[in-house]
């Protein structure tokens, strides 16, 4: 009985230390050291939260940059990819349809390749970024939809270039543009 009582005491003390106090301490330190990230990397516009820099959103209006396709319809709860094999006929049909749609919407000829990120789902289905090449291919349609003059068109080009984020730590990932940040900057640019 003595060993059982000691075991229960040790269990309770370790549960308190490792299950409650340690996680609270780490969460508190993280909140102090990285408040933006600890709050979900929320992006605010005009005092209201418009989204997270880490979770992709769907933009269907041609006045905005289009996000990468999502296998979960941009729902963060069941995040995940399509899990279709590289040899899947269904995947081939999805990619072919997305490519035709992208070429039609953005009036892109067959001689220009469509970036892979506009054709395939990301692993999470929630990737908030697109390649700079994908952003550049959308500029003419955005300028047309917003009825921008050539001076503003040059500002759009500059906007995409200024918004490019480098690979993390200089070598992890690829150069990318965050779609939500781009679209908010686009709204600010065209309100002037």
Residues of the chain with pLDDT under 50: none
Are 115 and 133 spatial neighbours (Cβ–Cβ below 8 Å)? Answer: yes
Domain that holds residue 79: 43-191
Q: Do 18 and 63 lie in a common domain?
A: no
- When divided into structural domains, the chain yields a total of 2
The reply to whether 34 and 69 lie within a common domain is no
Q: Which pLDDT score, from 0 to 100, does residue 86 have?
A: 85
**Same domain assignment for residues 23 and 58:** no
d(CA 105, CA 121): 19
- Residue 99 has a pLDDT of 95
Task: Write the burial class of residue 99 (CB in 10 Å: 0-12 exposed, 13-18 middle, 19+ buried).
Answer: middle
> Are 2 and 68 within one domain?
no
Same domain, 58 and 112: yes
Task: Clarify whether residues 8 and 55 are in a common domain.
Answer: no
**What's the confidence (pLDDT) of residue 154?**
84
Q: What separation in angstroms does the CA of 167 have from each of 130, 131, 173?
A: 13, 12, 5
Q: What percentage of the chain has pLDDT greater than the value 90?
A: 67
């Amino acid at each position: 009985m003595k060993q059982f009582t000691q075991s229960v005491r040790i269990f309770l003390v370790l549960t308190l230390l490792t299950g409650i106090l340690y996680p609270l301490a780490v969460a508190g330190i993280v909140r102090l050291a990285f408040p933006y990230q600890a709050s979900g990397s929320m992006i605010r516009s005009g005092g209201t939260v418009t989204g997270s820099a880490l979770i992709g959103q769907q933009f269907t209006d041609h006045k905005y940059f289009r996000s990468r396709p999502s296998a979960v319809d941009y729902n963060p709860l069941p995040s995940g990819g399509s899990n279709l094999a590289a040899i899947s006929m269904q995947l081939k049909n999805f990619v072919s349809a997305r490519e035709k749609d992208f070429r039609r919407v953005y009036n892109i000829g067959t001689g220009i390749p469509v970036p892979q990120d506009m054709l395939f789902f990301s692993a999470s289905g929630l990737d908030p970024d697109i390649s700079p090449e994908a952003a550049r291919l959308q500029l003419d349609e955005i300028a047309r939809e917003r009825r921008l003059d050539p001076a503003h068109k040059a500002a759009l080009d500059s906007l995409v270039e200024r918004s490019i984020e480098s690979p993390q730590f200089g070598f992890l990932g690829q150069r990318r543009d965050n779609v939500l940040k781009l679209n908010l900057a686009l709204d600010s640019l065209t309100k002037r």
